[in-house]
Amino acid sequence: MKHRIVVLGAGYAGANAAGRLAKRLHPADTEITLVNADPEFVERVRMHQLATGQDLKPRLLTDVFAGTGVRVRTARVTAVDTEHKTVALSDGEIAYDTLVYALGSAAADCGVPGVAEHAHHIDGKGSALRLRDRLAALAAGGTVLVVGGGLTGIEAVTEIAEARPDLEVSFAVRGGLGAWMSEKAQRHLRGTFDRLGITVHEDTDITSVGRAGAMTADGRAIPAEVTVWTAGFAVHPIAAATTLEVSETGQIVVDDTMRSVSHAGVYAVGDAALARGLNGMPLRMSCASGVPTAYRAADAIVAVLTGGSLPENKIGYTGQCVSLGRRDAVVQWVTPDDRPKDSALTGKTAARLKEIICKAAAWSISHPTSMLPARRRRVVPAEQPVTV
Ligand X SMILES: Cc1cc2nc3c(=O)[nH]c(=O)nc-3n(C[C@H](O)[C@H](O)[C@H](O)COP(=O)(O)OP(=O)(O)OC[C@H]3O[C@@H](n4cnc5c(N)ncnc54)[C@H](O)[C@@H]3O)c2cc1C
Residues in contact with ligand X by the rule CB under 6 A: 9-14, 35-38, 42, 44-45, 47-48, 76-77, 102-104, 122-123, 151-152, 155, 236, 270-272, 285-288, 290, 321
Which residue's CB is nearer to ligand X, number 224 or number 285? 285
Which residue's CB is nearer to ligand X, number 160 or number 300? 160
Measuring CA to CA, which residue among 223, 230, 229, 163 is closest to residue 196? 163
Label each residue of 83-105 as H, E or C. CCCEEEECCEEEECCEEEECCCE
* Nearest distance from C-beta of residue 61 to ligand X, angstroms: 9
Measuring CA to CA, which residue among 294, 284, 257 is closest to residue 12? 294
* Nearest distance from C-beta of residue 236 to ligand X, angstroms: 5
DSSP conformation class of 40: B
* Nearest distance from C-beta of residue 34 to ligand X, angstroms: 10
CA-to-CA dists, residue 56 to 5, 113, 128, 362, angstroms: 30, 33, 12, 11
380: Cα separation from own chain's centroid = 34
Which residue's CB is nearer to ligand X, number 104 or number 308? 104
* Nearest distance from C-beta of residue 184 to ligand X, angstroms: 19
* Nearest distance from C-beta of residue 124 to ligand X, angstroms: 7
Which residue's CB is nearer to ligand X, number 53 or number 223? 53
Which residue's CB is nearer to ligand X, number 215 or number 321? 321
Per DSSP, the three-state class of 300 is helix
**Position closest to ligand X via CB:** 11
In angstroms, the CA 268 to CA 251 distance is 9
The secondary structure of 150-215 as a DSSP string is SHHHHHHHHHHHHH-TTSEEEEE-SSSTTTTS-HHHHHHHHHHHHHTT-EEE-S--EEEEETTEEE
- How many C-beta atoms lie closer than 10 Å to residue 332's C-beta? 25
* Nearest distance from C-beta of residue 193 to ligand X, angstroms: 18
Which residue's CB is nearer to ligand X, number 321 or number 351? 321
What's the count of helices (H) and strands (E) in the chain, helices before strands?
A: 9, 22
* Nearest distance from C-beta of residue 43 to ligand X, angstroms: 8
Residue 134 exposed, middle or buried by CB count within 10 Å (0-12, 13-18, 19+): middle
Measuring CA to CA, which residue among 300, 293, 303, 243 is closest to residue 273? 293
Measuring CA to CA, which residue among 258, 225, 264, 224 is closest to residue 244? 264
Which residue's CB is nearer to ligand X, number 14 or number 232? 14
Which residue's CB is nearer to ligand X, number 271 or number 338? 271
Which residue's CB is nearer to ligand X, number 44 or number 188? 44
* Nearest distance from C-beta of residue 16 to ligand X, angstroms: 8
* Nearest distance from C-beta of residue 357 to ligand X, angstroms: 8
Measuring CA to CA, which residue among 313, 317, 354 is closest to residue 339? 317
